[in-house]
Amino acid sequence: MSNLPLNKTNKTLFTSKSYKSLNKSMLLIYALFMMVYMLRGKLYALNNQYITLFAWTAPNLMPSFLFTLIGIFYIVPRIFKGTKEINNPKFIWIINVLNITIFALIEYLHVIFNLGVWDNKDMVASLIGIIIATIVYFKIRKKHA
């Protein structure tokens, strides 16, 4: 972000404690996602309903959360060569639509290539991740508006 032009509002956002905390949180969530994904078989073997549900939905829940925040705070500023666009809420909605479309396409490809079946739990988990990320986005923007 250091080479992007920042206006005063965005300069306070990108240097704020909440933005730095978001970066750390995203890294921890990504690490948790990788651990859950690698250990899914062992988590299923525990035969605990809640752990099994989490292991089943985590591969959609966590990436949908991360993709939304990475899209709005990292990709949009890089594409538009600045950060003023992240002040416009339509970008978060565009990213959300792209996000859910990609996750639906992934589910569809599972069916087409006989890699699995269409799973509504995965789609719900993706929607929950997107909704949580959108709430985080608006809370950060409100705090630094």
**Coil, strand, or helix at residue 44?**
helix
Q: Report how far residue 62's alpha carbon sits from residue 57's, in angstroms, rounded to the nearest whole number.
A: 9
**Residue 145's pLDDT is what?**
63
Query: Which string of DSSP letters, residue by residue, matches 50-90?
Result: HHHHHHHHHHHHHHHHHHHHHIIIIIHHHHTTSSGGGGSHH
pLDDT tens, residue by residue, 88-133:
888 888 899 999 999 999 889 989 998 888 888 889 999 999 999 9
Report the share of the chain in percent with pLDDT over 70: 86
**DSSP alpha helix (H) spans, 8-48:** 8-14, 17-38, 40-45
Report the share of the chain in percent with pLDDT over 90: 19
Mean pLDDT for 71-91 is 80
pTM exceeds 0.85:
no
What one-character DSSP code corresponds to residue 135? Answer: H
